[in-house]
Amino acid sequence: MDPDAVAKAFVEHYYTTFDANRAGLANLYQDGSMLTFEGQKIQGSQSIVAKLTSLPFQQCQHSITTVDCQPSGAGGMLVFVSGTLQLAGEQHALKFSQVIIFSLTFFFISI
């Protein structure tokens, strides 16, 4: 299995789902998953999805610039994503970066 292909497929699925239906991301998280968003640590699938769905915008479109990945040990992967986020009604896109660490047993996502 090609780690780059796995990372790119995951990233495409994640951001397509985020842009269309953030609540649909729940199945990508587990009880031990953690999201760090602007210094706030949020743990567990329900809490993470509650945070993502409470963000102060309803529609957005991610445009991915880079997806860099490498093995993280114990069967996991470290994925660095960067790109832009276009919010509905806004003229200028926002730059973003995200680090995703995942394995067969958990996801840890930091924004």
Summarised one tens digit per residue, pLDDT across range 19-32 is 999 999 999 998 88
Query: What percentage of residues in the chain have a pLDDT greater than 70?
Result: 92
In the three-class reduction of DSSP (H, G, I as helix; E, B as strand; rest coil), residue 16 is classed as: helix
3-102 classified as CATH 3.30.70.600: no
**If you average pLDDT over residues 66-92, what whole number do you get?**
92
Q: For 30-57, give the DSSP string.
A: -TT-EEEETTEEEESHHHHHHHHHTSS-
Q: Residue 75 carries which DSSP code?
A: T
pTM for the structure as a whole? 0.88
Contact call for residues 108 and 32 (beta carbons, < 8 A): no
The domain locations on the chain are 3-102
* Alpha carbon distance 44, 51 (integer Å): 11
DSSP state of 58: S
Question: What is the distance between the alpha carbons of residues 48 and 106, in angstroms, rounded to a whole number?
Answer: 13
Q: Predicted confidence band at 6 (pLDDT cuts at 50, 70, 90)? A: confident
pLDDT tens-place string over residues 82-106: 999 999 999 999 999 999 988 744 4
